[in-house]
C-alpha cells in the first residue's frame, strides 16, 4: 500500500545531490521534460486501451490479459521513475527550477516544482491504465469522464496522504531544525533519533492518515457486521470500527491499522465485500486480527529502529577502524578519490539493502503465515476429523466459543478467500511475493496444518525463535558498537 514509486521519486529529487546550475539550453530542457511526460502518457494509454480492447474482444479478462496488464503496469511505474530520475540528474530540471526560474531557497515552492514532473507523469499513467483496470474488473465504460476524474482524484489522494508524514518530517528537518538548531544535524545520532520518532509517530497516527488517504465509511449494522463483531469477541480483539473502503470496486483488499485499540480500524474494500462470501470475509478479518494478536506492527517498528541504530553506530565504528588502520601503515594513505567514495558508498548501500531485504522479507513472510493461521482458526471447528461443519454465527449461543485449532474446513474457507482475492486482483497464484510469499505456497502450508494440526505448535515456536533471535542479534550489535564507542578502543 505504501506508494513506493513516489518515495523513490522523493529520494531522487531530494535525497541525492543533483546538478542545479541553470541549464544553457532552457528550451531544450523544457522540451526534454515534456517529451518524457508525453512518452509515459503514450505508453500508458496504449496499455490501458489495448487491454480494454482485448477484454472486449473475448468478452472477459483472461489470465493472460490480466498478467500482461499487471506486468505492463509495473514496467510503466518503473519507466516513470526512470524518466524522472533522468530529468533530475541529466535533464537539467533542478537547474531550471532553482536557477533559471530563481526559486532556490523558497519554502516548499521549490520542492513542489522539483517533484511536479513526477506527479504529472504519474497522473498521466494512471489515466491511461484506468481503461484497462476497468475492463479487467468487468466494469462498463459508461460515464467515463466523471469516473476518470474521480479515479485520478482517489489515486492522488491515496498516494499523497501516505507520504504526507514523511514530507512533514522532511520539511521540519530541513527548513525548521536547520534554522533553529543548526548543530542538531551534525549529531551522528540525529538520523536514527528522527527516524525512530517518525516510526512511532506514523504508527500512532496512521489511522488518521489512512482515513485521509481513502474515502471510508463505517460498515453498516447487519448480518455481516454482527458476524465480524462475534469473531472479534471470540478473539478478544478490540477495535474502534470496521470501515468499508471505497475504491470504486477496483481493489480487493483488507488491512488493519493502529496500535491503540481506540484508534484501530479494520478496512475492508468495497470490492472485497462484494466478491467474498460472509464466511470468507470473516476469515480475512481473522487474518487482520492475527497481525494485531501477534503484535506484528510493534515488532516491525522495533526491527527498523534497531537496524538503524546498528547502522549509525556501526558506521562510526567502521570510520574509527579505518582511521586506526591508516595509522598502522607507514606509507601515506592515498587520498581517496571522489569516484572511489561513490563506488564504496554504492557497494555498502547494496550490501546493506540486500541483507536488510533478506531478513525483512523472511520475517514478513513468516508473519503473513502466522496471520493466515489465525484467519483459518476463526472459521475452524477445532477438530482434525471435522465431522460436520459448523458456522458459529448461525448459532447465537456459540458467540463466546473460544478460537480453536485449524480444521480442514476452516483451511478451505480461508484458502478459497485467498485464491479469490488473488484471482480478482489479477495476481498469479504461483507468483512469488517478497513480502507475502506466493498464494500457492501459503495455501499449501495451511493444508499441511489441516491434516496435522499438531504441527502448528512447532511453527509458532519457530516464528518465536526467529523473533527472539533477531532481537538478541540487534541488541548484541548495538551493545558491541556502544562498548567500542564508549571505551574508545577504535578511536
Ligand atoms: Zn497480512
Ligand atoms: Zn471443521
How many other C-beta atoms are found inside a 10 Å radius of the C-beta of residue 469?
Answer: 10
Q: What is the total count of domains within the chain?
A: 2
Residue 273 lies in a domain: no
Q: What is the mean pLDDT of residues 119-139?
A: 87
Is residue 345's pLDDT more than 80? no
- Using a pLDDT cut of 70, give the percent of the chain over it: 77
Q: Cα torsion for 362, 365, 370, 371, to the nearest 10°?
A: 150
Show Cβ contacts of residue 425 under 8 Å, excluding neighbours closer than 6 positions. Answer: 251, 252, 253
Find the 468 Cα to ligand 1 centroid distance in Å: 21
CA of 436 to the centre of ligand 1 (A): 8
Is the Cβ–Cβ distance between 226 and 278 less than 8 Å?
A: no
Within 268-380, residue ranges assigned H as helices are 270-275, 278-293, 296-328, 338-377
* Residue 283 alpha carbon to ligand 2 centre in Å: 13
Give the Cα separation of 110 and 102 in Å (integer): 9
CA pair distance 285, 437, nearest whole angstrom:
19
The answer to whether position 422 is within a domain reads: yes
pLDDT number for residue 372: 95
Provide the domain limits for residue 436.
296-487
- pLDDT value at 17 more than 60: yes
High-pLDDT (> 90) share of the chain, %? 29
Q: Residue 450 CA: which ligand is closest?
A: 2
In a domain, 62, yes or no: yes
- Tell me how far the alpha carbon of residue 287 lies from the centroid of ligand 1, in angstroms: 6
Other C-beta atoms lying within 10 Å of the C-beta of residue 424:
20
**Cα-to-centroid distance, 444 and ligand 2 (Å):** 18
Q: What are the cell numbers at 444?
A: 499449501
* Domain boundary pick from 126, 141, 156: 141
The neighbouring-strand residues paired with 256 are 266
> Residue 221 — very low, low, confident or very high, per pLDDT cuts 50/70/90?
very high
Instruction: Provide φ and ψ at 43, rounded to 5°.
Output: -65, -40
Comparison of pLDDT for 338 and 34, the residue scoring more? 34
Mean pLDDT computed over every residue of the chain: 81
For residue 392, the ligand closest to its alpha carbon is 2
Inside any domain, residue 271: no
Ligand number, closest to the Cα atom of 279: 2
Contact 218, 243 (CB under 8 A): yes
User: pLDDT band at 50, cuts 50/70/90?
Assistant: very high
* Whether residue 407 has pLDDT greater than 70: yes
Q: Mean of the pLDDT values across residues 232-242?
A: 92
Q: In angstroms, what is the span from residue 108 Cα to ligand 1's centroid?
A: 36
Cα–Cα nearest to 399, from 228, 170, 160, 166: 228
DSSP-derived secondary structure letter, 247: -
Asked which of 30-34, 184-188, 210-214 is least confident by mean pLDDT, the reply is: 184-188
For 286-310, what is the mean pLDDT?
A: 87
Domain boundary among 141, 157, 183: 141
Residue 55 lies in a domain: yes
The answer to whether position 105 is within a domain reads yes
Q: Which of 35-39, 228-232, 340-344, 431-435 has the lowest mean pLDDT?
A: 340-344
Residue 304 clears pLDDT 70, i.e. is over it: yes
**Using one digit for the tens of pLDDT, what is the confidence trace for 153-202?**
888 887 777 677 666 666 666 666 666 666 766 666 676 677 677 667 76
End-to-end Cα spacing for the chain: 44
> End of a domain among 89, 107, 141?
141
Q: What is the C-alpha to C-alpha distance for residues 167 and 343, in angstroms, rounded to an integer?
A: 29
Q: Is residue 182 part of a domain?
A: no
Closest ligand to C-alpha of residue 287 is 1
In a domain, 345, yes or no: yes
Q: How far is the CA of 379 from the centre of ligand 2 (A)?
A: 8
Amino acid at each position: 500500500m505504501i506508494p513506493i514509486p513516489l518515495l523513490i521519486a522523493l529520494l531522487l529529487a531530494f535525497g541525492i545531490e543533483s546538478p542545479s546550475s541553470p541549464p544553457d539550453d532552457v528550451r531544450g530542457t523544457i522540451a526534454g521534460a515534456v517529451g518524457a511526460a508525453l512518452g509515459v502518457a503514450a505508453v500508458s494509454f496504449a496499455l490501458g486501451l489495448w487491454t480494454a480492447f482485448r477484454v472486449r474482444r473475448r468478452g472477459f479478462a483472461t489470465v493472460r490479459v490480466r498478467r500482461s496488464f499487471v506486468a505492463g503496469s509495473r514496467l510503466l511505474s518503473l519507466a516513470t521513475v526512470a524518466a524522472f530520475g533522468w530529468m533530475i540528474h541529466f535533464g537539467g530540471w533542478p537547474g531550471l527550477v532553482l536557477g533559471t526560474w530563481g526559486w532556490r531557497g523558497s519554502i516548499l515552492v521549490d520542492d513542489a516544482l522539483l517533484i511536479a514532473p513526477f506527479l504529472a507523469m504519474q497522473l498521466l499513467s494512471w489515466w491511461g491504465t484506468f481503461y484497462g483496470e476497468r475492463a479487467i474488473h468487468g466494469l462498463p465504460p459508461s460515464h467515463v469522464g466523471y469516473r476518470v476524474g474521480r479515479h485520478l482524484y482517489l489515486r492522488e489522494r491515496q498516494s499523497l496522504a501516505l507520504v504526507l508524514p514523511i514530507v512533514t518530517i522532511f520539511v521540519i528537518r530541513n527548513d525548521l531544525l536547520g534554522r533553529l538548531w543548526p548543530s542538531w544535524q551534525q549529531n551522528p545520532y540525529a538520523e536514527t533519533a528522527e527516524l525512530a520518532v517518525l516510526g512511532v509517530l506514523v504508527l500512532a497516527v496512521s489511522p488518521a492518515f489512512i482515513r485521509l488517504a481513502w474515502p471510508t465509511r463505517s460498515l453498516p449494522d447487519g448480518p455481516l457486521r454482527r458476524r465480524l463483531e462475534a469473531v472479534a469477541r471470540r478473539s478478544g480483539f478490540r477495535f474502534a470500527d470496521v470501515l468499508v473502503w471505497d475504491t470504486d470496486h477496483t481493489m480487493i483488499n483488507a488491512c488493519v491499522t493502529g496500535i491503540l485499540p481506540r484508534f484501530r480500524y479494520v478496512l475492508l474494500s468495497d470490492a472485497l465485500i462484494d466478491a467474498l462470501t460472509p464466511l470468507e470475509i470473516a476469515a480475512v478479518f481473522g487474518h487482520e486480527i492475527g497481525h494485531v494478536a501477534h503484535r506484528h506492527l510493534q515488532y516491525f517498528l522495533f526491527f527498523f529502529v534497531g537496524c538503524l541504530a546498528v547502522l549509525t553506530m556501526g558506521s562510526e565504528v567502521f570510520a574509527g577502524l579505518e582511521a586506526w588502520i591508516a595509522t598502522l601503515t607507514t606509507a601515506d594513505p592515498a587520498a581517496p578519490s571522489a569516484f572511489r567514495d561513490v563506488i564504496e558508498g554504492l557497494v555498502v548501500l547494496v550490501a546493506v539493502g540486500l541483507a536488510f531485504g533478506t531478513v525483512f522479507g523472511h520475517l514478513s513472510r513468516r508473519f503473513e503465515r502466522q496471520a493466515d493461521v489465525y484467519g483459518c482458526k476463526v472459521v475452524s471447528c477445532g477438530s482434525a476429523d471435522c465431522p460436520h461443519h459448523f458456522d458459529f454465527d448461525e448459532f447465537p449461543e456459540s458467540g463466546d466459543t473460544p478460537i480453536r485449532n485449524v480444521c480442514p474446513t476452516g483451511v478451505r474457507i480461508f484458502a478459497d478467500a485467498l485464491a479469490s482475492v488473488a484471482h480478482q486482483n489479477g495476481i498469479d497464484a504461483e507468483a512469488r511475493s517478497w513480502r507475502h510469499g506466493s498464494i500457492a505456497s501459503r495455501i499449501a502450508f495451511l493444508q499441511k496444518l489441516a491434516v496435522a494440526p499438531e504441527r502448528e505448535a512447532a511453527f509458532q515456536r519457530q516464528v518465536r525463535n526467529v523473533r527472539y533471535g533477531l532481537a538478541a542479534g540487534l541488541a548484541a550489535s548495538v551493545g558491541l558498537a556502544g562498548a567500542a564507542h564508549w571505551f574508545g578502543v577504535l578511536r
